[in-house]
Structure 1
Amino acid sequence: MRILAAGDHFVAPDLFARELTAEIGTDHTIDQLHLPWPLTPFGPVSEVDEASGDEDTLLAALRGARVCVTQMAPVTRKVLDGSPDLRLVVVGRGGPVNVNLDAAKERGVQVCNTPGRNAAATAEYTVGLLLATMRRIPETSAALTAGHWAGEFYTYDNCGPGLDGATVGLIGCGAVGSRVARALTALGAHVCLYDPYADPDTLREWGTPVDDLDALLRRSDVVSLHARLTPETRGLLGARELALLPEGAVVVNCARGALLDEDALCDALESGRLAAAGLDVFAVEPPPADSRLRTAPRLVMTPHLAGANISVAHNAARIAAAEVGRFLRGEPLAHRVV
Structure 2
Amino acid sequence: MRVVCVGDRFISAASFAHAAKEAFGPDTETVEYSTRWPDEAYGAVEGVKESSGSVDEIAELIPGADVLLTHLGPVTATVLARADRLKVVGITRGGPVNVDLAAATAHHVPVVYLPGRNLGAVAEFVIGVMITMPRGVVRGSAELVHGRWSPRAFRYETAGPELRACTVGLVGIGAVGRRVAQLLDAFGARVVAYDPHVDRADGIELLDSLEAVLSVSDIVSVHSRLTDETRKSFDSKAFGAMKHGAYFVNTARGEIVDEAALLEALDSGQLSGAALDVFDPEPPGPDNPLVHRPDVIGTPHLAGASRQVSSESVQRVVRDVASYLHSGRMDHCANPDALKEGS
Q: Per the shorter chain, which TM-score range?
A: over 0.9
Contact kept, 8 Å, 1:263 with 1:292, in 2: the verdict is no
Partner of residue 303 from structure 1, selected from 300, 305, 311 = 300
Partner of 2:25: 25
Partner of 1:42: 42
Secondary structure in structure 1 of the residue aligned to 2:102: helix
Inter-partner Cα distance in structure 2 for 1:96 and 1:113: 6
Secondary structure in structure 2 of the residue aligned to 1:234: coil
Secondary structure in structure 1 of the residue aligned to 2:89: strand
Give the drift of 1:137.
Answer: 0.9
Partner of 2:63: 63
The answer to whether the aligner puts 1:5 opposite 2:2 as a matched pair is no
Deviations 1:38-71 (A, max 9, x none): 1122222220111112311221222321211111
Q: Which deviates further from its counterpart, 120-129 or 158-167?
A: 158-167
The answer to whether the aligner puts 1:72 opposite 2:69 as a matched pair is no
Inter-partner Cα distance in structure 1 for 2:64 and 2:92: 21
The answer to whether the aligner puts 1:98 opposite 2:95 as a matched pair is no
Deviations 1:1-47 (A, max 9, x none): 21111111111111111111221111221111112221122222220
Deviations 1:261-319 (A, max 9, x none): 11111111122211000011112111012222223440001111111111111111001
Q: Which deviates further from its counterpart, 92-101 or 152-161?
A: 152-161
Contact kept, 8 Å, 1:269 with 1:296, in 2: the verdict is no
Partner of 1:243: 240
Secondary structure in structure 1 of the residue aligned to 2:159: coil
Inter-partner Cα distance in structure 2 for 1:313 and 1:207: 30
Inter-partner Cα distance in structure 2 for 1:208 and 1:94: 26
Partner of 2:286: 289
Give the drift of 1:153.
Answer: 2.4
If the length of structure 2 is used for normalisation, what is the TM-score?
0.93
Contact kept, 8 Å, 1:269 with 1:297, in 2: the verdict is no
Partner of 2:86: 86
Give the drift of 1:72.
Answer: 0.7
Deviations 1:145-182 (A, max 9, x none): 33333233211122223322211110111111111112
Pairs within 5 Å for 1:113-262? 113-200=113-200, 203=201, 205-262=202-259
Inter-partner Cα distance in structure 1 for 2:183 and 2:18: 34
If the length of structure 1 is used for normalisation, what is the TM-score?
0.95
Secondary structure in structure 2 of the residue aligned to 1:176: helix
The answer to whether the aligner puts 1:280 opposite 2:277 as a matched pair is yes
Deviations 1:121-140 (A, max 9, x none): 11001111222211111111
Give the drift of 1:84.
Answer: 2.8
Contact kept, 8 Å, 1:45 with 1:54, in 2: the verdict is no
Q: What one-letter code is carried by the residue in structure 1 that aligns with 2:236?
A: A
Inter-partner Cα distance in structure 2 for 1:158 and 1:211: 32
Inter-partner Cα distance in structure 2 for 1:132 and 1:207: 23
Secondary structure in structure 1 of the residue aligned to 2:297: strand
Inter-partner Cα distance in structure 2 for 1:315 and 1:290: 37
Contact kept, 8 Å, 1:178 with 1:206, in 2: the verdict is no
Contact kept, 8 Å, 2:291 with 2:297, in 1: the verdict is no
Give the drift of 1:239.
Answer: 1.2
Q: What one-letter code is carried by the residue in structure 1 that aligns with 2:3?
A: I
Inter-partner Cα distance in structure 2 for 1:228 and 1:58: 30
Contact kept, 8 Å, 1:87 with 1:109, in 2: the verdict is yes
Secondary structure in structure 2 of the residue aligned to 1:95: coil
Inter-partner Cα distance in structure 2 for 1:245 and 1:46: 41
Partner of residue 332 from structure 1, selected from 307, 329, 334 = 329
RMSD, aligned α-carbons: 1.5
> Gaps (5+ residues) in structure 2?
336-343
Partner of 1:52: 52
Inter-partner Cα distance in structure 2 for 1:232 and 1:49: 20
Inter-partner Cα distance in structure 2 for 1:117 and 1:145: 36
Inter-partner Cα distance in structure 2 for 1:295 and 1:266: 11
Secondary structure in structure 2 of the residue aligned to 1:134: coil
Inter-partner Cα distance in structure 2 for 1:195 and 1:56: 42
